[in-house]
Structure 1
Amino acid sequence: MNLFEEKMYTLLNLATTKSNITTIMITLATALLLSAVLWGTYRFANTKNTYQPKFAITLVMLAFISTVFMDLIQSNLALSLGMLGSLSIVRFRTNIKDPRDIGFIFWSMCIGIAAGTNSYLIGAIGSIILAIFMLVTRKKSINTAVMMLVIRGSNTNINKIQHVVNQVPGNNTVKAKNILADSFELVYEMHLPERESNNMIGELFELGGIDSVNLLAANG
């Protein structure tokens, strides 16, 4: 029994390391530097309408929290097991408007893990590759915006309106049709390229009998 206790004590001592202040400051500085790359990429990969300052701050906070978390669990085996059990019962239910935001969240967590485990090279190379990829794909994500198209009018062939809408590239879905005796209202959800919006509006008014055409941002 004493031999078993001695071996367990030796194992716990090997698994328990104390980080010095220099190592902690280096990990936090690395997390700050990589978080700046993350923040800059998120800022320039979005437009003024889609950029969310609070979400950007949350990404930086998440990187720092992940770094501190990794520093803590590396220094104490018992603490790491306790934190693992505590985090396993946490549930986060937040709606993500842009699917790319999920990637930014995981990127932020990877920054903290890389900094906390002293894997600075992996964190730097991965962040640079992700930054380049997000900036290269920025144009496509910005040019196509989700819009709500509301058409009001009277004495117009609705099939002709549908034909004009179908000619616009992207996924166009009918959300509502309100047909009255002397007027109508049509609502579409459209993934509309910015350059196509003016052309489509002009074609709709050329049909005649259109009172108004409204384009609204779907998220706001």
Structure 2
Amino acid sequence: MGTWLHHALFAEESKNLLPWDSILARLVLAFLAGWLVAVAYAWGRRNSLTGTTFPGTLVLMTILIAMVTQVIGDNAARAFGLVGALSIVRFRTVMQDTQDVAYVIFAVAVGMAVGAGQPIVAAMCWLGVSVAATIFRYFPSVNVTTGVAVLHIRLGLGRNPETSLEPVIAEVTTKREMTSVETAKQGAAVDVEYRLQMRPDVSPATLVTKLNQVEGVQQVQFRKHVRDD
């Protein structure tokens, strides 16, 4: 029974793989390198408003790429298979968060590792991703960027967004940037979109209430969770 199970789970070529402790060491190094990438990203984008989850996604992706590299090795067929699987995910699935994409890649990579007869690689990667996910969940302060929201406002035509909206938005935010302005209702209104970071002592409901009191404002929409760039 043990021999059958071993042959069923482990491919013949797995004999040439690195031992489990070497695989674990490489994944740990990938984890640390991913943090360095995330810190570099935060430093380079320190003046921009970016989603909270994106630095964590960089860490996860570093671990996953290290795992996929181990699984593929010199096998070109696996490389093309991975590209095909990820292409289906990319073009057939709509995701609003970059970490969702990372977890889909995680599932594809684990499935590939198990199918290729490398369950040890899959187990080591699962351990690394689980540790990273636990850190992000229970220690949110390790995120190197802050929460970002999207504010969508419909303003009556003839109103200047900068003079009508900026004073109210500046009062309740620490950072903000206007990302788009476009006409709506066949030119009868203007849609303005902001990315912003709220002050911790101000709730979204307070912001929406203040904006609704501004003359000319027709509609306000606040979205706390946004797509990462």
Could you tell me the TM-score, scaled by structure 2's length? 0.43
Higher relative contact order (CA 8 A, sep 6+): 2
Could you tell me the TM-score, scaled by structure 1's length? 0.45
